[in-house]
Structure formats: structure tokens, C-alpha cells
Amino acid sequence: MNISDVMYYMENNYTSITVQDIAKKFGYSSDYLNQIFKKMTSHTIGEMLLSLKMQKACSLLTDTSLPVSAVAEYLGYHNTPNLIRSFKKYYGITPAQYRKDFHKSTSI
């Protein structure tokens, strides 16, 4: 298995894929692919997908004026509270607070 192929696929499709989709694409079971991926990267596929989404969320929050609901939709979240919950768990603050803090720090 070529992990770089899996990573490339994830980086280009993270807004609309699941672990099961990735496993099917590469011809493995979800459990087996996750096991191999974790051995090679020290992260699960789910963790990597979340990381990609959170990085993009930060970019959209700081580089655009899109409302949080539009950011959630762009990232494939079915509702805004799910993005807010994931973002807060990942970064410790809400998306709105992240945007506010970023703009406050860049306006000095």
C-alpha cells in the first residue's frame, strides 16, 4: 500500500469522504486500512480527515467573511453545531472566537 496515494486522495476529497469510502477506493477493509495507516503515520484516518477539515476551517475563517454556517457546509458538515463542536474540541475555542481573535491580533 502506498500511503502517499491515500494521503493525496484524502487531501483532495476530505470534505466529502469517510473512512469507508477511502477503504473501498483502495480495496481494503476499513479496519485494515486504518490499522496500516496508523502504523505508518501514528494517526487514524478519521484523525487525519478531522485535521484537514480543521486546517481548512481556520483558513476559511481568517481569509474569508463566510458565515460559520457556510464554512460548515463547505467542509461537509450537515449542520453548523457539529462543526462548532468539532472545532471547539480540536482548538479549545469556537470558530467565531477564533475569527475574532485572529482579526484582533492582525489589526494591531
pTM of the model: 0.90
What domains are defined for the chain?
Answer: 3-106 (1.10.10.60)
**DSSP labels, 10-37:** HHHHTTT--HHHHHHHHTS-HHHHHHHH
pLDDT in tens, 60-70: 999 999 999 99
Q: Are 75 and 66 in contact (CB under 8 A)?
A: no
- pLDDT on residue 103: 81
DSSP 91: H
Q: How far apart are CA 22 and CA 30, in angstroms?
A: 8
